[in-house]
Structure 1
Amino acid sequence: MALSLEEYVHSLDLRTLPRVLEIQSGIYSEGSVDEMSGNECCLSTGEVIKITGLKIKKIIAEICEHIEGHKSPQPFELPMNFPGLFKIVADKTPYLTMEEITRAIHIGPSRLGHPCFYHQKDIKSGDLIIKQGEQFMLNSVEEIHGEMLVNCGVVRHRRDRSFTLPLSQEGEFYECEDESIYTLQEIVEWKIPKNRTRTVKLTDFSNKWDSTNPFPKDFYGSLILKPVYEIQAVMKFQKDIVRILPSLDVEVKDITDTYDAKWFLELLSTKDLLEMTSKEFPIVAEVVEGPLGNQLPRSILQPGKTIVIHKKYQASRILASETRSSFPKRHFLIPTSYQGKFKRQPREFPTAYDLEIAMSATEPLHVVATKAFHTPHDQLPGVSVGDQFLVHHSQATQVLCEELKTAVDVLACKKILKTSHEAALLPLYMEGHFVEVIHDKKQYQISELCTRFCLPFNVKVSVRDLSIQEDFLAATLGLRLEEEITDSYLLVSDFANPRERWEIPVGRLSLTVQLVSNSFWETGSFAVRTLIEEITEEQYYMMRRYESAFLHPPPRPPKHPTMGEIKLPSLSSVGKTVALPKFPKVRSFCGISSKELYLRQFISSLF
């Protein structure tokens, strides 16, 4: 049955791409040449095209509320490079099946592409019960034993629990509130469901933008974002991708099931490869466009090279940064298979609260104070520069505050004297500074460090990895191992030497290949080679933002016994006064100070 191009795109399930269409009739019925994004193509009755993707071409924004003193502006186009930051307003319209969610929302390999939902009733999956209103994350869609399932995850007691739901799962699924802040480009790529609008709230705007500000002065309100799509398609025997607006007055018919797709060249991007199901691998492909600055030997990914892509999978990396004080710092992703050895280096702790976080069950934390602290309470001792402590555990104690007994969180320590130890209590809100004293001279491999100690952790390479021709980690003065992350990789090899295989990071590598064959006979034994990646400041920031912020949200700050008061707006005419704890001066987190993060979290909890 013939449909208008717009109707067809509206009903299109993106998971079924690519699709082959035949032009039935329309404005190109006599045959015409149209210039589309620099690519010249001819659409005429009977012409056949293959749709490979559906992308957002532009965004139309509409201000939700009326601004006093301003005339309500008409909907306007918001440039993709608009330098504003937005918070997403959760969609209140429910999805009635898991299949409806997967049709509308792109589920990708990174945390940006892992949407979170909750259900109105309990859901049972195997021996796991997802409770009513409990947040769970959608990680991927896979075919398992002939059934399409959604791989999901839920956090229980700080541990991830995995489960699957069939696409046929019915119910009322609602989008969860999202506390993250996004750029417009990130929203366009990941956060606008197909055939739905997206309501966002403008939170920040850069004054450095040299174009006209499309918003009223001092506007920080809600917007409705409406996407305008374009179709990505290929013509027969052409490698160029053409882009077509769905609004073209053309009728089409889907002939995917009856047309021989061999008439089209099969071009695949890294994103296309990652969205293939696991059973479609291995494949043989020819590199059309390779990445710049390729670190692989013999230029395996150079254009014209025939490669084997064996599989896609998730692999762990340790995110590390140089500990030097100069900027910009270098950042690395270290595979857990790295064979070099490390020695521990002292860590610095800006507050007593950081000491509590760093405490280990394997050994007491030994630190020396480098900043004096004078306590306002007689029950708690002061700290002088050079004082040394063994940190044991945290507890609560009573102090006198304005002639009233008040509970204060403290660290129970042993103060090291010349010939003995004495008990000492350090308040968690203490704005001191401490440096770790290292007694351990042992050399560790990175896998041992991650198993035995809690990250973050300071180390220095003591023995370089001899299996690597150039180990640039060994040249660094020191490294801070920050956290373990999971990322998406492709396992590739030279077609002429399939036994030596390399892990290729998908998210940081641009690659276009032409499919040569979807069958390859796997050899028995093989060696997997990994790379130490040096990443940019922007890539590092994005990883900390989406990995660490999700997995390790900042805990609440310790309360200072002296309380200030702030006045908060209320929905009623009566003001609401609450106590606000004083915050320690602590390190920044993903470009935002911990103090600001704590303050946001504290105020959010009041409503």
Structure 2
Amino acid sequence: MEQSRAQSWNSFISSLSPNNFNKTIKVITGEYLTGSLYSLSFSEGDVIKITELIVFGAKAELYQNHKYVKTVDIPPGYKGEFQLVADPNLYETVADLIQHVKIGNEKESQPLVQNNARICFSCINIEKETKLCLLGLEEAGSETFLKCKLLKNKKSPTILLPMNCRGQFQECQEKQSYSMDAILKWKLSASYKRMVIPVRGILFHGAMDILPEEFNGYLRLLPNYLVKGVLSDGTETIIPADIDMQIVDISDSEQKNTFTTSMSLQDVYWQASAKFPLTVRIVDVRNDQLLGTQQLKQPRYEVGDYLTILRKESLKKYLVMEITHHSSPRYFLVSSTYQGIFQRVPRVFQFVYDVELARQIGNEISVIAHKDYVAETSQLSSFKKGDGFRALGCGTVPTATGGKVQNIEVLECENILTHVKVKLPLYAEGNFSEITGNNDRGYIMDQLYLKSYHAKVIAQDCTLQNDPLCSPKELKIAHQITEECLMATYEGCSSQALEIPVNRVNLLVKVIDYSPLLRDTSTAMCPFYKVEILSAADYQSLISYEELPQPPPVPPRSSRDRTSNEYYCSSVLPKNGPSPPTLTEVTSGTLPALEKLFLVQQKAKNLYLPTGTNYN
């Protein structure tokens, strides 16, 4: 029976779902290609519980005009930016979809898919070609559901799709570009070889050494994998992918009383909610934690100590960065329960292109120009210092320059004073400042609709003895994350609850009791860490990556100054043309006195809804 279900180690890795590594295997036969592998003997009957699939680098096959060129190694920390090629495969059920598409709680790991067939399931009705944002997996009763957000019109309802729901799901083509590290972390599946297109230009400067000089094809990624597993005696080990062995999946028939499993905190978190509270004993303490325990105010964990896990929670938190010109910025992780009051601070955008980027995030935005601009053609609009605009949307305008017609990308705006519609080229420089209303203040939870904004704390959180967010003059609330935490009490300190982020505190534990005496989970209902101070490295590890859009367009030039191959396109910038405006975010400062400023601000007040309004 077992032999009929046997498969190669490589085949097993390719079959792993990117969303569920909770598998237990038994080794049938095999040999490690480069020698003995620690305590793993590969004798018949060895049992391993798989806990994680790790990507530790990649090679890439280069294709030009759909013809293979060569294979290159992608060095660690490679700085180039790439655009994803959408997975062309169609998935007919939700179960098939989550088997191949990686989904996580963070925005970066929430893929967009399009359903190419109408779905009528129970009370769910999804029209053909509806786009869905995949938010994660959710348990309800004894079933697992896919949590999705339907992207249509201004309302984006959230629904739960069962695993047997049938449709025609296909990944959507994304416009933004990503670093290679981000792609390897969030955008891979062991069963699909991801294709990417390099983005040239200022975002790719100095990072093209692994590609041919005139390369304009695509790359097929070949990631290298390691598998983290736990042996039957509780020892954790790392298993390379280059093993010639046969295994059998015994996940469904695993005898739990014969497999004493050590678990990571992530494994504990994914236990069914009905199993909490539970008591665990610490069997190993790792020292490679993402964040120092001093920042988290965690106790000094020792092997042999006990934790009572009261419950699990998924907590909303915010990554916040101090804006300063005089010293290195400070970084913070702020809980949604933080009770300090924020006052918005106007942002400053150097180019129209930067205004458009802010608008694309989802915020309604109005700005004042602090620099004159004279349009090159009558089809485009000029503006003067002090003019105020409300951004409406992006478009293109055909213009004749040097005897040739070009489509110039523009931002369509409404002049706040005259209500005249204008078209501003994205390359126009205006040193714009954002217009904010006097009532744009509130708690950090009140600003959820503002996906990236600048603010300062005008009233500290009274529950904190020393509120570190009060001293900075300006803060950038950059990113919202969801952190998976265990609420627990430590041995001998049952009155003091701990908030343990499972991805940042690296412990190996063994479950001792699923029915501890302490059944009152309200012990954990107390204030936790509202503000953590992070290092720059910790901040980057949590923010995962920044979405990087295509480089901005360049101003039109006459034909005598430009050869035919110098026209800007979406992925190749002109070699000898002027550099496009860099993607910069300028902090606010003292703005010059302008005659029109007061009138513009008064009119702009009508453009903003009161703080706390539900924008969904």
Asked whether the two chains share a fold, i.e. TM above 0.5, the reply is yes
Decide whether aligned partners of structure 1 residues 318 and 158 sit closer, same or farther in structure 2, where only a CA change above 3 A counts.
farther
* CA distance, structure 1, for counterparts of residue 107 and residue 129 of structure 2: 21
Q: Give the alignment partner of residue 523 of structure 1, picking from 521, 533, 548.
A: 521
In the alignment, what sits opposite 1:232? 228
Distance 2:390 2:136 in 1: 43
For 1:99 and 1:281, locate their aligned partners in 2 and report how far apart those are by CA, in whole Å.
27
Tell me the equivalent position of 2:591.
none
CA contact (8 A) 2:313 2:487 kept: no
Deviations, residues 88-120 of structure 1 (Å, cap 9, x unaligned) = 212222223221222233322223332222222
Provide TM-score, normalisation by structure 2: 0.68
Q: Specify the alignment match of 2:336 in structure 1.
A: 336
* Cα distance in 2 between the residues matched to 1:459 and 1:285: 42
1:5 equivalent to 2:1? Answer no
Equivalent in the alignment of 1:320: 320
Amino acid at match of 2:521: T
Change (3 A) 1:78 1:320: closer
Kept after mapping to 1: 8 A contact 2:80/2:204:
yes
Length-normalised TM-score, structure 1: 0.69
Return closer, same or farther for 1:518/1:116 CA change in 2, 3 Å cut-off. Answer: farther
Specify which of 22, 28, 31 is matched with residue 26 of structure 2: 22
Residue pair 2:317, 2:336 contacting (<8 A) in 1 also = yes
RMSD: 5.1
> For 1:468, which of 446, 464, 489 is the aligned residue?
464
Mapped to 1, the partners of 2:351 and 2:192 lie a distance apart of 47
Offset of residue 56 of structure 1: 4.4
CA distance in 1, matches of 2:212, 2:353: 43
Residue 90 of structure 2 is aligned to residue 94 of structure 1: yes
- What is the aligned counterpart of 1:494 among 489, 508, 527? 489
Q: Which runs of 5+ in 2 are unaligned?
A: 360-364, 394-398, 401-409, 566-578, 587-616
Letter in 2 for 1:289: R
Letter in 2 for 1:233: G
Whether contact under 8 Å (2:277, 2:521) holds in the other structure is no
Q: Deviations over 1:18-65 (max 9, x none)?
A: 44433334459xxx99533xx343222333333333444664432233
**Which residue of structure 1 lines up, in the alignment, with residue 508 of structure 2?**
513
Following the alignment from structure 1 to structure 2, what is the Cα–Cα distance between the partners of residues 528 and 232? 35
Q: How far off its partner does 1:437 sit?
A: 9.1
Contact 1:236/1:263, CA 8 A, preserved across alignment: yes
1:448-459 equivalences under 5 Å are: 450=447, 458-459=454-455
Q: Which amino acid aligns with 2:443?
A: I
Partner Cα separation in structure 2 for residue 239 and residue 479 of structure 1? 45
Aligned pairs for 1:158-169 (under 5 A) are 158-169=154-165
SS at match of 2:64: coil
Contact residue 109 and residue 274 of structure 1 kept, 8 A: no
* Residue equivalent to 1:49: 48
1:184-583 pair list within 5 angstroms:
184-204=180-200, 215-245=211-241, 247-252=243-248, 254=250, 257-260=253-256, 263-270=259-266, 272-273=267-268, 275-286=270-281, 288-289=285-286, 291=289, 292-295=291-294, 299-300=298-299, 302-304=301-303, 306-326=306-326, 328-342=328-342, 345=345, 348=348, 371=371, 383=384, 411-413=414-416, 429=424, 431-433=429-431, 445-447=442-444, 450=447, 458-481=454-477, 485-495=480-490, 496-498=492-494, 500-505=496-501, 509-516=504-511, 517-520=513-516, 521-524=519-522, 526-535=525-534, 537=536
Counterpart residue type for residue 8 of structure 2: L
Q: Which has the larger radius of gyration?
A: 1
Q: Which moved more, 1:314-323 or 1:108-117?
A: 314-323
How many equivalent pairs are there? 533
Specify whether residues 284 and 246 from structure 1 end up closer, same or farther in structure 2 by C-alpha distance, changes over 3 A only: farther
**Distance (whole Å) between structure 1 residues aligned to residue 231 and residue 197 of structure 2:** 41
Identity %: 20
The residue number in structure 2 matching 1:144 is: 140
Q: Distance in 2 between matches of 1:222 and 1:392?
A: 39
Quickly say closer, same or farther: Cα 1:268–1:244, change in 2 above 3 A: same
Determine if contact 2:486/2:502 at 8 Å carries over to the other structure: no
1:180 Cα deviation from its structure 2 partner: 3.1
Q: Which amino acid aligns with 2:323?
A: T
Superposition deviation, residue 268 in structure 1: 0.7
Q: For the residues of structure 2 that align with 1:450 and 1:392, how far apart are their CA atoms?
A: 20
Paired residue type of 2:317: R
Q: Distance in 2 between matches of 1:214 and 1:103?
A: 32
Equivalent residues of 2:343, 2:442 under 8 A apart: no
Greater relative contact order (CA < 8 Å, ≥ 6 in sequence) = 2
TM-fit CA distance, 1:152: 1.3
Distance 1:164 1:456, change over 3 A: closer
- DSSP-derived class of the 1:248 partner: strand
Distance in 1, Cα, partners of 2:122 & 2:104: 25
Going from structure 1 to structure 2, the CA distance change for 1:567 and 1:160 (only over 3 Å counts) comes to farther
Task: Give SS of 1:178's match.
Answer: coil
Q: Which runs of 5+ in 1 are unaligned?
A: 359-363, 396-400, 415-422, 570-582, 591-607
Residues 5 and 461 of structure 1, relative CA distance in 2, 3 Å threshold: same
Contact kept, 8 Å, 1:112 with 1:190, in 2: the verdict is: yes
* Cα separation, partners in 2 of 1:343 and 1:185, compared to 1, 3 Å: closer
The residue type equivalent to 1:527 in the other structure is C
Q: Please give the per-residue CA displacement for 1:309-341, whole angstroms capped at 9, x wherever unaligned.
A: 444444333443333334643333333322334
Please say if residues 23 and 51 of structure 2, whose CA atoms lie closer than 8 Å, have aligned partners that are also in contact: yes
Alpha-carbon distance change, 488 to 567 in structure 1, aligned in 2, over 3 angstroms: farther
Instruction: State the Cα deviation string for residues 214-257 of structure 1 (Å, max 9, x = none).
Output: 54343242122234544433323343313143642345463762
Contact persistence 1:289–1:302 (CA under 8 A): no
Which residue is 1:119 aligned to? 115
SS at match of 2:239: strand
Change (3 A) 1:390 1:540: same
Aligned equivalents of 1:352, 1:10: Cα separation in 2: 46
CA separation of 1:374 and 1:337: change in aligned 2, threshold 3 A: same
* 3-state SS, counterpart of residue 187 of structure 1: helix
Match of 2:151 in 1: 155
